[in-house]
Amino acid sequence: MTLWALEIEYDGTPFMGWQRQKHGLAIQQVIEEAAARIRGGGEVTEAISAGRTDAGVHALAMIVQIELPDFTPFRIREAMNFHLKPHPIAVLRCGLAPEGWNARFSALARSYRYVILNRPQPPTLEINRVWHMKAKLDEQAMHEAAQLLLGHHDFSSFRASACQAKSPMRTLDFCSVRREGEKVILETRARSFLHHQVRNMVGSLKMVGEGHWPKAKITDILAARSRPAAGQTAPAEGLYFTGVEYDPPLELS
């Protein structure tokens, strides 16, 4: 067997998240079972991902490592997608993993997107894929407030109470907020994020966008180092894992 790197896309709606659970279906479980069928059955080997998304969170380009036969990339991709049916998971590209590479620990940066549908009417075609907000948001104020999050900070105010990270210190490399028609979109990048960090950032920036908080409030929230100081946790359905960076880049097809 050979270690492969898979780039996968999934709709997180029907899953309990990436990680295997005692109760409920997880993306990791579906990937591992599909790979086991390709290998002809037998022991299930662990699939390791670049990020461990929560229940309801989606991915556009998650990277996963798993052992599979020494087939061509085309055969691996086609076989995996066949055995992943009917689940909303697809292998977009794949390639042999470099020697010594690890999908999680070799990652230099991870990127997320959060999508808010900002209109009076509820979503119809994008149910479970956006956070619907009726009140008009000031995306420029949100963007300016987001710049206060850049750099190396103690993000205790933006971490979940159940976060198991040893340190709340993180370095946010990029964070932008823009409007595209009826959607307000946040994009952010860091080497790693705390549990619920992006969703809690969005919940706080939303308060700025609604005019309830001044932009400078974000600095006060960081300084407080206390979860109650920040805004609500934005719903999972608006969050997308959009990519991961490695050096050298993976060769996928």
Alpha-carbon gap, residue 119 to 125, rounded angstroms: 14
If asked whether residues 83 and 131 sit together in one domain, one would say no
Residue ranges making up the domain that contains 122: 109-243
Q: Is residue 216 one of the residues assigned to a domain?
A: yes
If asked whether residues 44 and 168 sit together in one domain, one would say no
Q: Could you tell me the CATH number of the domain that includes residue 12?
A: 3.30.70.580
Question: What per-residue confidence (pLDDT) applies to 4?
Answer: 98
Question: What per-residue confidence (pLDDT) applies to 21?
Answer: 87
| Residue ranges for the chain with pLDDT beneath 50 | none
Tokens at residue 159, please? 């971490």
Q: Would you call 70 a catalytic residue per the annotation?
A: no
Question: What per-residue confidence (pLDDT) applies to 3?
Answer: 97
Question: What per-residue confidence (pLDDT) applies to 164?
Answer: 87
Count of structural domains within the chain: 2
Say which of 11, 54, 220, 247 is annotated catalytic. 54
Tell me the whole-structure pTM to 2 decimals.
0.96
Alpha-carbon gap, residue 98 to 156, rounded angstroms: 35
Question: What per-residue confidence (pLDDT) applies to 22?
Answer: 87
Question: What per-residue confidence (pLDDT) applies to 1?
Answer: 87
If asked whether residues 131 and 95 sit together in one domain, one would say no
Name the 3-class secondary structure at 174: strand
Name the 3-class secondary structure at 242: strand
